[in-house]
Amino acid sequence: MPRPIRATISLPALSHNLQVVRRHLEFARQHAKNNNKQEYKAPFVWAVIKANAYGHGLENAVRAFAQADGLALIDLNDAVRCRELGWHKKILMLEGFFEAADLPVLQQYNITSSVHHIDQIHMLEQMPAGNAIDVFLKINTGMNRLGFMPSDAAARFLDLLSLQQQGKLGSIGFMSHFACADGAIGAVDEPVSLMKQAINDLPGAISLCNSAATLRYPQLALSARESWVRPGICLYGASPFDTLHEQAGNFGLLPAMSLKAKLLSVQQIKKGQSVGYGATFTAEHDTRIGVVACGYADGYPRHAPTGTPVIINGIRSRLVGRVSMDMLTVDLDPVPDAREGDWVHLWGSEGPHIDEIAGYAGTISYELMCALAKRVPVEVIE
């Protein structure tokens, strides 16, 4: 009999969240039209599905995000897999290609690549004839990870334009990545200014907005030129922000991943007795304790402290003691009817929001989603 722990992935929730992003962008577009009398084209949407679609499964994401204009990821094998699954629209490699041997694959499967390093341009120069590759020239506007400095953008564009004229490249666009779109209001102003200076009047599509910028600064996705946004975490029902008024539910986002496990045992401990490794929880009064079939080897955060919320039989309770590899313990005093075999909802549609669990554990929901262990059975909700 399988261990009593389950994760569920809701395809309708994923699809719903994509539509939330589209409606958010459309509202901004109509607002600009009504107030500025400026007509903008609707931005295109790359659905970011890197890291196995943030732990939700590549195949699930391809199905759920069927209405996206493109998919964005980092692993070339995953990009090929998307094509094999029937994805015919655009695919973007966010980190580009890593060696010359990748280029024929990009050509064969019509995959778009970012270009962020001079060595990539040299590899493109040596690329054999074949289908032209679309590219996005990545500009470093303050993240200081990948990308050319704004002062080099024009020269690198000319390099790519020469390759385009040779028939090796198709369209040439521009992209950047905000370091602090989820931080203080206005933190994107300087990066936007740098981007404008970098590309000036150079032609091509532009892509700036991640989840945080798409939700907080949708006007940045409005442009006279072709524009793309790259939402990630918000598509999975979590918020990129820490503020109370910018929680996922405030935007209408639905949790797509849920995690639950059954009570294996119920223990009655006396006042002064402790629970679990390190005796980190000591009962202040006689307490009913539930042992749950989930631990850090399943992807639940080991550093979640006493007080981290759980939902049992519709009632909110809390984690007590230290999370171990295969088990965790919860306070059953608020749920007097709880018995062995009852489900404990750890996060998701019937449990606490994953953002809340991440906050208690001192991490972010991205990590929890990506950490879901392979040993956890997954049910896909169509």
Same-domain check for residues 79 and 175: yes
Is residue 36 scored above 90 in pLDDT? no
pTM of the shown model: 0.96
Same-domain check for residues 137 and 151: yes
The whole-number pLDDT of residue 140 equals 97
Whole-number Å distance between alpha carbons of 243 and 181: 13
Q: Looking at 216, 251, 286, which one is the last position of a domain?
A: 251
Same-domain check for residues 122 and 65: yes
- Token pair for 163: 């390759």
Query: Is-catalytic flag, 300?
Result: no
Cα dist from 129 to 108, 112, 132, 158, 251, whole Å: 11, 16, 8, 20, 47
The whole-number pLDDT of residue 49 equals 98
Q: Please compute Rg for the chain using Cα positions.
A: 24
- Token pair for 45: 């949407």
The whole-number pLDDT of residue 177 equals 96
Q: Looking at 193, 217, 251, which one is the last position of a domain?
A: 251
Catalytic residue among 33, 41, 196, 277: 277
CB of 289 closer than 8 Å to CB of 275: yes
CB of 361 closer than 8 Å to CB of 310: no
Same-domain check for residues 188 and 287: no
Determine whether 34 is exposed, middle or buried from the number of CB atoms within 10 Å of its CB (0-12, 13-18, 19+): exposed
Cα dist from 31 to 37, 222, 227, 340, whole Å: 9, 11, 17, 54
Cα dist from 190 to 102, 215, 222, 229, whole Å: 35, 19, 18, 19
Mean pLDDT over the full length of the chain: 96
Same-domain check for residues 43 and 158: yes
Which amino acid is it at 306?
Answer: T
Same-domain check for residues 274 and 245: no
Give helix 153-165 / helix 118-125 axis angle, nearest 10°. Answer: 10
Is residue 59 scored above 80 in pLDDT? yes
- In angstroms, the first-to-last Cα distance of the chain is 25
The whole-number pLDDT of residue 245 equals 86
The per-residue b/e assignment along 246-280, b for 16 or more CB within 10 angstroms, e otherwise, is: ebbeebebbbbbbbbbbbbeeeebeeeeebbeeee
In total, how many domains does the chain have? 2
Whole-number Å distance between alpha carbons of 182 and 199: 24
Is residue 1 scored above 80 in pLDDT? no
Band (pLDDT 50/70/90 cuts) for residue 65 is very high
CB of 43 closer than 8 Å to CB of 221: yes
Catalytic residue among 40, 50, 168, 260: 50
Same-domain check for residues 269 and 192: no
Is residue 4 one of the residues assigned to a domain?
no
Give helix 189-199 / helix 153-165 axis angle, nearest 10°. Answer: 50
The boundaries of the domain holding residue 362 are 257-381
Same-domain check for residues 120 and 161: yes
Query: Is-catalytic flag, 277?
Result: yes
Write out pLDDT tens, residues 185-219: 889 999 999 999 999 989 999 999 999 999 999 99
Q: Looking at 225, 251, 277, which one is the last position of a domain?
A: 251
372: domain CATH number is 2.40.37.10
- Token pair for 6: 């389950």
Same-domain check for residues 351 and 243: no
Same-domain check for residues 61 and 117: yes
Q: How many CA within 13 A on the CB side of residue 246?
A: 18
Q: What is the DSSP string of 171-193?
A: EEEEE---SSTTSSTTTTHHHHH
Q: Residue 379 gets which letter from DSSP?
A: E
Is residue 224 scored above 90 in pLDDT? no
Same-domain check for residues 213 and 317: no
The whole-number pLDDT of residue 37 equals 77
Same-domain check for residues 239 and 206: yes
